[in-house]
């Protein structure tokens, strides 16, 4: 049985995408069953070549989806509220059912700021108990939806309801397709709801309310800190300000498995990515573009 994994990223995040993909390979026994669906935009030929090196090390399959060539994605990205921190690539996961082939029954979506350190076969053998998706509760979900004094959007979200983080979502593709997520998003945009909520994550929580299976926290360890190492997390999610690809020692000491992450990314790519980020930072600082 094939195990399908989807990643979405742009050219400024190619190295973390590689690290996430390689961590899946390193910690999964049935590597020959892995199929990676790489949904990308603005990807340079050199960075694509870096990603393709994964097949030199592992017997996996790569499937490429150039979102710059997708009229649907371009339309969505142009009209929907822009996530300035993550870019509008976040909306790509909503299109998963329209991108993958009909033979894909289940797919694991992963954000690219993740490190996997347990066999994902567990997720593909999991009984979804009739639910459309499986995910992990976000520990600050009520703050995301309610914001100051937990009072905002009370007509949309009840803080007593469980709210999932969409960085790791195990998807039953048929149920995802049946939910008509793009259609629901268009309706939410027309009614003004999309302009009020936290991008696609809030939308998915509205669509799949009471229709998702709650997984143990360790399958999406949010804001992964050094202390989490003692709790044996399965998937680390670096949602905090400090990232494992930082080069300042103080930053690295605060995040979980920073040294492991560097070697999963590989030393060569880690330091090339550091130079890429510094170059990009100076360009923005000097007003020379992104």
Q: How far is CA 162 from the centre of its chain?
A: 20
pLDDT on residue 90: 83
Residue 8 lies in a domain: yes
β-strand 235-237 against 114-116: which pairing, if any?
A: antiparallel
pLDDT value of position 289? 61
Q: How many domains does the chain have?
A: 1
| pLDDT at position 127 | 97
In a domain, residue 252? The reply is: yes
Assign residue 8 a region (left: φ > 0; alpha: ψ between -120 and 50; beta: otherwise).
beta
Q: Where is 66: in which H helix or E strand?
A: strand 61-66
Q: Structure tokens of 264?
A: 């999963």
Which positions ≥6 away from 159 have C-beta within 8 Å?
Answer: 142, 145, 146, 150
Q: What is the pLDDT of residue 251?
A: 54
Find the CATH number of the domain harbouring 140.
3.90.550.10
Quick check: is 82 in a domain?
yes
Domain that holds residue 85: 3-285
Is position 201 within any domain?
yes
Distance CA 85, CA 76 (A): 17
Instruction: Please report the pLDDT score of residue 81 as a whole number.
Output: 77
* Residue 257 located in a structural domain: yes
What end-to-end distance do the CA atoms of the chain give, in Å?
42
Q: What is the mean pLDDT of each run of 10 residues along the chain (290 residues)?
A: 96 97 98 98 96 98 96 88 73 92 96 98 97 97 93 94 97 96 94 90 95 97 94 96 77 83 97 89 66
Look at residue 60 and tell me if it is in a domain.
yes
Q: What is the DSSP letter of 219?
A: G
| C-alpha closest to that of 139 among 225, 254, 207 | 225
Is 290 a member of any domain?
Answer: no
Are the C-beta atoms of residues 170 and 134 closer than 8 Å to each other? yes
């Amino acid at each position: 049985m094939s195990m399908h994994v989807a990643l979405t990223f742009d050219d400024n995040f190619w190295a973390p995408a590689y690290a996430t993909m390689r961590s899946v390979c390193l910690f999964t026994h049935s590597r020959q069953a892995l199929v990676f669906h790489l949904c990308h935009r603005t990807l340079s030929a050199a960075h694509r070549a870096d990603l393709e090196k994964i097949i030199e090390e592992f017997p996996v399959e790569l499937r490429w989806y150039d979102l710059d060539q997708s009229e649907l994605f371009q339309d969505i990205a142009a009209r929907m509220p822009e996530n300035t921190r993550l870019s509008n690539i976040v909306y790509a996961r909503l299109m998963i059912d329209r991108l993958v082939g009909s033979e894909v029954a289940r797919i694991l979506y992963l954000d690219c700021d993740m490190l996997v350190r347990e066999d994902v076969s567990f997720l593909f053998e999991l009984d979804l108990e009739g639910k459309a998706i499986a995910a992990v509760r976000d520990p600050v979900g009520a703050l995301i939806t309610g914001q100051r004094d937990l009072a905002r959007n009370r007509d949309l979200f009840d803080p007593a309801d469980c709210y999932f983080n969409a960085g790791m979502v195990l998807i039953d593709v048929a149920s995802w397709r049946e939910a008509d997520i793009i259609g629901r998003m268009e309706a939410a945009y027309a009614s003004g709801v999309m302009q009020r909520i936290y991008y696609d994550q809030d939308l998915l929580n509205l669509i799949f309310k009471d229709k998702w299976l709650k997984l143990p926290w360790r399958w999406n360890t949010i804001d992964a800190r050094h202390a989490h190492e003692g709790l044996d997390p399965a998937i680390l999610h670096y949602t905090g300000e400090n990232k494992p690809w930082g080069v300042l020692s103080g930053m690295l000491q605060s995040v979980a498995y920073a040294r492991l992450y560097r070697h999963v990314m590989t030393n060569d790519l880690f330091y090339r990515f550091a130079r890429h980020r510094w170059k990009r930072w100076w360009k923005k600082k000097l007003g020379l573009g992104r």
